Amino acid sequence: MVLFLVGGIGTKVVLRLANNSYQFRTYSSCLKMKKGLVLGVYETDNKDEVVLTPSASKYNELVNGKLLANINLSGPKIKKLKTRIFWGLDDGEHACVAVVGLGKRNLGINLLEEIDEKRENIRSAVAAGCSALDAVDIKEIDVEPMGDAEAAAEGSILSTWIFQEFKNKSKQKILPNVNLYGTEGVKDWQLGKIKADAQNWARRLADSPANLMTPTIFSQTVSSVLSALGIQVIIHDKAWAEEKKMGSFLSVSRGSIEPPKFLEIHYKGASPSDMPIAFVGKGVTFDAGGISLKSAGSMDEMRADMGGAACVVATIKAAAELKLNVNIVGLIPLTENLPSGSATKPGDIVTAMNGKTIIVDNTDAEGRLILADALCYAAEFKPKFTLDIATLTGAIAIALGCAATGVFSSSSELWETLRGAGTITGDRVWRMPLWQAYNNRMTKHVKSADLNNMPKAKGAGSCVAAGFLREFASPDAPWLHLDIAGVMGPNIDDVSYLQSGMAGRPVRTLIQFLQILSA
């Protein structure tokens, strides 16, 4: 008697007998081992040919050819990202096996799509396999390397995580525990796990409700996690920011009773003589727009307006775990942006750390105000380059959707490195223009100050915001600005290995970027 495949998620499963007749058995009787396995199969032009991955071929030998026999019995070949579950193959360890379609073999980088199709197919395929096993109550899952154990780990670990820690314990879903099958690719699997875990931490920080992720709580949470890894974390208070003359940053915090914080993080992975890389993250833990109040629709998503800050700390965490040969200074201004009797009013003038004055015509354009002072402070560390990352403008989502992060860069060399990193991770970036014309929109025709935080003319919203920040970035070092507003939120595009909730993008791309630089 050979257990063939699941007929459904209900109480019965279908068994095919040696004489080609069928029987039903109770679902529970097939779950003695409570463990599942994800294996891969390739597409070919020959409709009658089944090509197993090397790991799947070894497994097929282990079970005396029953895997391949059951695939052939199950009908048309398994197409890309599709899954079939087979039960009772008697390997002595797994109750069932999910076979996933990886698409064609020998894929590589698609130059038009700017993506490594092999890696991305693996991430999506293992996600589909893990989801199928999870749906039939398999919570211990082994995943074969699929030809790239790092990508397999990323797809598995990202797809099986959801944000649910504030639900009643009795209603929380039991999340699958995913591990590598076999001994091949152990180091690569661990690398992928570190990257995926970092992204999941960023997702958790971004999805936490604003009352439970205030500037103070964010600072304490990050300090606890990073300090345990030997990373220096300094939590600056309002008085320190006042001493540094961060009037632009502090103007945003005036409407909230939550005290602002400024996180300063030092990861020292290289020689003390090596200049650091400065990472600056926007940390608005809730953005109601201030006096320029946002509309009520989807305002709750503004709990994730500190997505840039979350990406910075998650990237530094992974850098420490990977022991990357770089020095990093992480700088994160943290505040809420709320309306109140003490809030900054449209038309107010504030002074940034470098002495430039700013008319705040729109208090909902607050991200650029807090980043301005952080960029000024970053220059004090004389960095190799500065990279800021922020959920800055809705305009970038209009331009790129959620397919890519918008990048503005004064260095073509750094841009190309970052673009290559995005191609590898599948979390892509796209270069936007950093032209003087956009700076002029923020500086010219401003009568009573040096800059306006919102131009009078409409259009090019993400570009003029970058032009504003350019006025505060150090001219002595290259600078990159990443606008992640389009990739911040719930997965509504084709990233099949991210479930609903905040995305934590592009953490893996930033880690890959640092890996390339440190090498």
Residue numbers annotated as active site: 294, 368
| H or E stretch covering 110 | strand 109-110
Q: Which residues contact 341 (CB under 8 A, 6 or more apart)?
A: none
Residue among 429, 385, 373 nearest 405 (CA):
429
CB 260 within 8 A of CB 306: no
Residue 162's nearest CA partner among 120, 125, 203, 131 is: 203
The DSSP result for 155-224, as a single string, is HHHHHT----TTS-GGGSPPPPEEEE-SSTTHHHHHHHHHHHHHHHHHHHHHHS-GGGS-HHHHHHHHHH
Burial 267-302 (b: 16+ CB within 10 A, else e): bbbbeeeeebbbbbbbbbbbbbbbbbeeeeeeeebb
Dist. CA 75–CA 223, nearest whole Å:
55
Distance CA 84, CA 64 (A): 19
* Residue pair 299/210 in contact by the 8 Å Cβ criterion: no
Interatomic CA distance for residues 156 and 160, integer angstroms: 6
Q: Are 385 and 277 in contact (CB under 8 A)?
A: yes
- The full DSSP string for 454-470 is S-SS-S-HHHHHHHHHH
H or E element at residue 41: strand 35-43
Closest of 331, 334, 281 to residue 309, by C-alpha: 281
